[in-house]
Structure 1
Amino acid sequence: MVAFDNHPALVLNADFRPLSYFPLSLWSWQDAVRAVVADRVCVVSEYDREIRSPRFTMRLPSVISLKEYVPAARRPAFTRFNVFLRDRFTCQYCGTAFPTHDLTFDHVVPRARGGRTTWDNVVTACSPCNLRKGCRSAGEAGMALLSRPDQPSTYQLQVNGRSFPPNYLHQSWRDYLYWDSELEQF
């Protein structure tokens, strides 16, 4: 039996937009098949591969849409990952982009000075800049913030997420991931 692990399904909301862009909303082939059998999703596109049981044969879904619309959260959760995504995985002091494992977050007003861990006081920083700033303000450390931190909307995070394409894109997903991108003019 050949493994189907490299056959995930792109999950779209009932309005045919991905549930999320980064990380891309994907379900394993097993979860996608379970949802199809439970009649919770519609199959929009399929792979050429089939799964079989003694009484059942179906092609693996490559794109599925939920039958019931799931509204996006009004306010994104305040998480380390969402701070990095808001700041586009870029140190807000030196302007260099880094992989997530090389990033930290920094309190603009240091916690030792009463700064809180909130959207408007936390920015993405690389370790060298975070250490250089230390327990001082950016001005005291001779540094400047590239942008003022604030709470992003879910839409802003989705826009930022589109800038970071996933490692793997099946051809059948392209119409649903980039349907609202600007078209080329001839």
Structure 2
Amino acid sequence: MYISPNACPALVLNADFRPLSYFPLSLWSWQDTLKAVFLDRVDVLSEYDREVHSPSFTMKLPSVISLREYVTPKSSPAFTRFNVFLRDRFSCQYCNDRLPTSELTFDHVVPRSRGGRTNWTNIVTACADCNLHKGSRSVRESGLRLHRQPEQPTMHELLRNGRSFPPNYLHESWRDFLYWDTELDSDF
């Protein structure tokens, strides 16, 4: 059975063997991965059965790689729509329903028409129904209640939230590297 190299991305780990990001999962294409291997920028930790060939060379495609040099994570996350959704765990902060991103919007807690700013402490994830219901009113005037007060998350919080949303596809060679540092359940 033929497997396209395009179906063989590599999980990218930092030099401390933790993924650069969990959500979206840090993956590189097979081309970027091979380039990094040949430039001696990464170590190959696991491989697919799939090989690529040139006239004089054959190599198994890497499935897990680690950077040779540690990349320091950013201290504060970028203020993006995706990061707001991730901070709020893809849940409407009014009705608490968890929804796909295509059904989520963001809402100004203090409406812009009343001087509300577009920043971490005034934006929350909302479903379309709650956002429409609230409109340009305050939370109190709308009769809604905030599930959680918005605040700027740390990178650690976003990474932790991202870990609870595994991607649809996980290659078996990735599993040990994605969850090796999670706390184990105890029998006590």
The TM-score normalised by the length of structure 1 is 0.97
Deviation sequence 1:66-114 (CA, Å, 0-9, x none) = 1111110000000000000000000000010110011000000000000
Cα distance in 2, alignment partners of residues 80 and 68 from structure 1: 30
1:57 aligns with 2:58: yes
Cα distance in 2, alignment partners of residues 87 and 2 from structure 1: 37
Q: Which residue of 1 aligns with 2:117?
A: 116
SS at match of 2:18: coil
Q: Which residue of 1 aligns with 2:42?
A: 41
Q: Which residue of 1 aligns with 2:162?
A: 161
Following superposition, the deviation at residue 183 of structure 1 comes to 2.3
Q: Which residue of 2 aligns with 1:10?
A: 11
Following superposition, the deviation at residue 2 of structure 1 comes to 4.8
Deviation sequence 1:124-182 (CA, Å, 0-9, x none) = 00011001000011100001000000000000000000111111111111111001112
Counterpart amino acid of residue 162 in structure 1: R
Q: Which residue of 1 aligns with 2:88?
A: 87
Following superposition, the deviation at residue 31 of structure 1 comes to 1.0
User: What residue ranges of structure 1 are gaps of 5+ in the alignment?
Assistant: none
Q: Which residue of 2 aligns with 1:28?
A: 29
User: What residue ranges of structure 2 are gaps of 5+ in the alignment?
Assistant: none
1:146 aligns with 2:147: yes
Counterpart amino acid of residue 152 in structure 2: Q
Cα distance in 1, alignment partners of residues 76 and 3 from structure 2: 42
Counterpart amino acid of residue 29 in structure 2: S
Counterpart amino acid of residue 38 in structure 1: L
- Number of residue pairs aligned between Structure 1 and Structure 2: 186
Q: Which residue of 1 aligns with 2:74?
A: 73
Counterpart amino acid of residue 179 in structure 2: Y
Following superposition, the deviation at residue 52 of structure 1 comes to 1.0
Cα distance in 2, alignment partners of residues 52 and 89 from structure 1: 42
When residues 6 and 94 of structure 1 are mapped into structure 2, their CA distance, relative to the original with a 3 A threshold, is: same
The worse-fitting range, judged by mean Cα deviation, of 41-50 and 119-128 is 41-50
Cα distance in 1, alignment partners of residues 92 and 174 from structure 2: 31
Structure 2 contact 3–50 (Cα < 8 Å) conserved: no
Deviation sequence 1:27-66 (CA, Å, 0-9, x none) = 1111111110111111011111111111221110000011
Q: Percent of aligned positions with the same letter in both sequences? A: 68
Where do 4+ consecutive residues of structure 1 move more than 4 Å?
Answer: none
SS at match of 1:70: coil
Counterpart amino acid of residue 105 in structure 1: F
SS at match of 1:120: coil
